[in-house]
Amino acid sequence: QKEVEQDPGPLSVPEGAIVSLNCTYSNSAFQYFMWYRQYSRKGPELLMYTYSSGNKEDGRFTAQVDKSSKYISLFIRDSQPSDSATYLCAMIRGNMLTFGGGTRLMVKP
Amino acid sequence: NAGVTQTPKFRILKIGQSMTLQCTQDMNHNYMYWYRQDPGMGLKLIYYSVGAGITDKGEVPNGYNVSRSTTEDFPLRLELAAPSQTSVYFCASSFILPNRGPSYGYTFGSGTRLTVV
């Protein structure tokens, strides 16, 4: 079993939809949680970073962490075609950053 | 405002050849990392460094070596390249305080696309 599980998709939604992306993890030692966006043939770009349970909002993006359920989510409101990318969850324990496999999102005009 | 710079962007190697992937950062980050990403997969940690002169293995270190002689530079060396090392390699850096975690997340370079034939 992988330490961090993420549905690979692809997830296809119409423009303007609310998108929900999720990850589960097995190790309760993970303390810090991130979401990265990766466009094709580019490096990952940090979207959200949080270290506590609860919600964190930044523009159209909301990151949610539930440590008791070992579950994190990223919500995208009013999705745009420019949001089409692969979204990677990542989490830290000690010195190690561990990634999920990524979910490919396609937002259709 | 360069961030993390990786060179080269692309490279084709023959089996058994060696090469060094360069990574430099100008943000005075103490931690640096090398990851590989295979098609359709997440990133796997190869090696990391918590500061100049200190390196440690990650999840998939076999076939690779690293050094960290300065804060800015963290080169990755491939010895005796094999087809299994065909991948996209990403360097990343972060500023981490003891027991406090990363200040701003991790910053990634744009990657080196390596093919071994």
B48/A95 CB distance under 8 A: yes
Q: Is the pLDDT of residue A1 over 80?
A: no
3-state secondary structure of A81: helix
A49/B105 CB distance under 8 A: yes
pLDDT digits (tens, 9 = 90+) for B99-108: 666 767 789 9
**pLDDT for the residue numbered B101:** 67
**pLDDT for the residue numbered A38:** 95
Q: Which of A96, A97, A103, A104 to mutate to test the interface with B (most CBs of B within 10 A)?
A: A97
End-to-end Cα, chain A, rounded Å: 37
| Residue whose C-alpha is closest to residue A89's, from A29, A21, A40 | A21
Confidence of residue B45 (pLDDT cuts 50, 70, 90): very high
Q: Rounded to 5 degrees, what are φ and ψ at A83?
A: -80, -5
Spatial separation of the C-alpha atoms in residues A37 and A48, rounded to whole Å: 9
Confidence of residue B14 (pLDDT cuts 50, 70, 90): very high
- Is residue A45 within 8 angstroms of chain B, CB to CB? yes
- Is residue A51 within 8 angstroms of chain B, CB to CB? yes
A49/B109 CB distance under 8 A: no
